[in-house]
Structure 1
Amino acid sequence: MSVDGTIEMGDADPCEEAVVSAPTAEGTIETGVDRFRFSGELTNVYLVDWNGVPAPESSSISVVHIDYGVPARADGS
């Protein structure tokens, strides 16, 4: 995903598969949830399944949920 500001991992224990280099984060989420905090607007999200089939053509893509304007959590994520 790409943003028009800055982006960083939001998890207290960041996943090893994510590579964050402002203004982009990329990687693999096999199970669970990865959180990212970013400033600005989301400019691009590109999702593919394990076969490389992009959303929305793939029925195997999980839900992506984006909250704008959320304050920092007490645990720092």
Structure 2
Amino acid sequence: MDNLTFEEAYARLEMIVRQLETGQVTLEESLALFEEGVALTGKCLSLLDRAEARITVLTKSESGIIKEEPYEAMHLPGATAP
């Protein structure tokens, strides 16, 4: 699972959800799929956190100087600080 891309992990997670929603899997299979889904969710969140850390925001000061700042959710409209 360590080598999965975000897209691969997300696609597998979607497949697991579809399997569980059918109701055609045994209890043991359901538990195994659930555990895999939890691990995949963690993988996706980790990859998203790393991607977010790489994003920078360009800002322009009143004097016209443009500079890069690390991305923070507070830059988004309607976002609140954690």
TM-score category (smaller protein):
under 0.3
Larger Rg: 2
- The TM-score, its normalising length taken from structure 2, stands at 0.24
Task: Give the number of the structure whose residues are more often strand, by fraction.
Answer: 1
Task: Give the number of the structure whose residues are more often helix, by fraction.
Answer: 2
